[in-house]
Amino acid sequence: MALLKVLEHPDKRLRNKAVPVTNFGAELQAILNDMFETLYKEDGVGLAATQVNIHQRIIVIDVSDDRKSPFCVINPEIIAREGKQYEYEGCISFPGVYDKVERAGKIRLRAQDQQGQFFELDADALLATCLQHEMDHLDGILFVDHLSRLRRDRLLRKLEKSRKQTA
């Protein structure tokens, strides 16, 4: 296993569109292991492969409090959405800054597991938010893209300030 380097804003590679996974072999298992290690190290709830410069449609998630419920979704597609929620989001690629984003409140997802088996999943609350946020990453979309220009500028200034303080 290996820790992967997380791309941070404004790295242009965060804007790449990821391609579907077609090979569910040993290489994919190795990527998943490394992504989980990186997710836990960064204390995130979700990580998209795009963020570690692997441009394939792979997401790892653990929204549990005890950090012991890892699961992955591969080639995910939203097949139904319902309602709205408006919750704070952060992103490992934007360390230390948060803002509220409007998302669907409930979603139904179709995806593949690490063996390539198709499954459907219903998600709401934090899991629904997280899945929508990570799926955006696979299309090169960042959570700040959903903010008004005013709020985005404010958040990016805050990000810059916190970087200067830790530099």
Catalytic positions are: 134
| Cβ proximity to Ni ion, 86 vs 118, nearer residue | 86
Is 155 an interacting residue with respect to Ni ion (CB under 5 A)?
no
Is 58 an interacting residue with respect to Ni ion (CB under 5 A)?
no
Q: Are strands 46-48 and 118-124 parallel, antiparallel or unpaired?
A: unpaired
C-alpha 44, offset from chain centre:
9
The H-or-E segment that residue 164 falls in is helix 149-166
CB of 32: closest distance to Ni ion in angstroms? 18
Residue pair 72/114 in contact by the 8 Å Cβ criterion: yes
CB of 24: closest distance to Ni ion in angstroms? 24
Is 91 an interacting residue with respect to Ni ion (CB under 5 A)?
yes
Give CB contacts under 8 A, 24+ apart, made by 117-123.
120/79, 121/73
Is 159 an interacting residue with respect to Ni ion (CB under 5 A)?
no
CB of 108: closest distance to Ni ion in angstroms? 22
Is 59 an interacting residue with respect to Ni ion (CB under 5 A)?
no
Residue pair 133/109 in contact by the 8 Å Cβ criterion: no
The footprint of Ni ion (CB under 5 A) covers 91
